[in-house]
Amino acid sequence: MNRRGVNKCIFILNKILNISLLFVVFIFVWLVCKIFFFASFKIPSDSMQPEIESGDIAVVWKPSMGMRLFNILGSLEGKQPKIYRVLKFKEAEREDVMVFNYPYSRGLDKISMHIMNYYIKRCVALPGDTISIIDGYYYVSGYQGFLGDLKSQKKWSNVSEKILRRKNLWNTYPNDSLLNWNVKDFGPLFIPKRDTEIFIDSIHYTLYKKLIEWETNDQLFFYTEKNCFYLGNKPISNYRFQHDYYFMAGDNVNSSQDSRYWGVVPDVFIVGRVAFILKFYDFNSKEPIWCQIFRVVH
């Protein structure tokens, strides 16, 4: 091969190497953005209508709650990983729409997470809040603003108990006769905040047993013979929470399985705040909606 041919081969080889390097860099940057900054989720249900419809794509800004670091492969295998948060930019606010891992992926008896099991809901109560549901409407003690979709709550308040019982939508968290809460008469429920201490009595045992067992990885129970509560093999009278928790609810209260039914969401289960919605076409007419391709969530 002559010199000209050699130079041409070297030129082509350099081109291939440069393109390959650019491709590797692009994949690396994409993975970093996907893991630490943005994530997208296709909405599978109508639980957030009318703000977000089934089929919309929610784009989540992860740093808003702090980026999560954990063993992704372990979670895919069903293991319960230790989750760490880094670089938290902003505290959550009431009315934020969030994506989070459903906290009962293995059943309602125990808090557990699976990385592929996601919900999207609106945060209606923050750590330290006390929330009630009165006649179907959400109320937070000391807060004067609106919570959730009021039109949906108004329709919900007019649905009879008989219909709700028939649809198995009447009974709510904690599903215990001691409190006997329901979708129209719920609470008051204190939303646990990190470092808040509670006295362990029968009511707090009923409300927070699963949270305490998840935080400590130990069993909380009432020892009848000694007439006191035990955490593992030690008697317990008070407990200090190690995490923040959030009360999440769907805007479409008539079609949403949310905190009303299964309880609060641990802070580390939250992926992040929804930044905007991608909506390329109307799902009824199938016509493109150019003005709503990037739509901020209210």
SS3 assignment for the chain = CCHHHHHHHHHHHHHHHHHHHHHHHHHHHHHHHHHHCEEEEECCCCCCCCCCCCCCEEEEEHHHCCEEECCHHHHHCCCCCCCEEECCCCCCCCCCEEEEECCECCCCCCCECCCCCEEEEEEEECCCCEEEEECCEEEECCCCCCCCCHHHHHHHHCCCHHHHHHCCCCECCCCCCCCCCECCEEEEEECCCCCCEEECCHHHHHHHHHHHHHHHCCCEEEECCCCEEEECCEEECEEECCCCEEEEECCCHHHCCCHHHHCCEEHHHEEEEEEEEECCECCCCCCECHHHCEEECC
Query: Is the pLDDT assigned to residue 107 strictly greater than 80?
Result: yes
Query: Is the pLDDT assigned to residue 284 strictly greater than 60?
Result: no
> What is the model's pLDDT at position 283?
55
Query: Is the pLDDT assigned to residue 148 strictly greater than 70?
Result: yes
Q: How far apart are CA 133 and CA 179, in angstroms?
A: 14
Position 275 confidence tier, pLDDT thresholds 50, 70, 90: confident
> What is the model's pLDDT at position 286?
54
Lowest mean pLDDT among 26-40, 51-65, 147-161, 227-241: 26-40
CATH architecture of structural domain 37-179+246-296: Ribbon (2.10)
Position 30 confidence tier, pLDDT thresholds 50, 70, 90: low
Lowest mean pLDDT among 47-61, 145-159, 162-176: 47-61
Query: Is the pLDDT assigned to residue 84 strictly greater than 60?
Result: yes
Q: How far apart are CA 276 and CA 289, in angstroms?
A: 15
Share of residues in the chain with pLDDT > 90 (%) = 55
Query: Is the pLDDT assigned to residue 203 strictly greater than 60?
Result: yes
Name residue, tokens 């709510």: 172
CB-based contact 88:69 (threshold 8 Å): no
> What is the model's pLDDT at position 280?
60
Q: What is the average pLDDT across 90-116?
A: 91
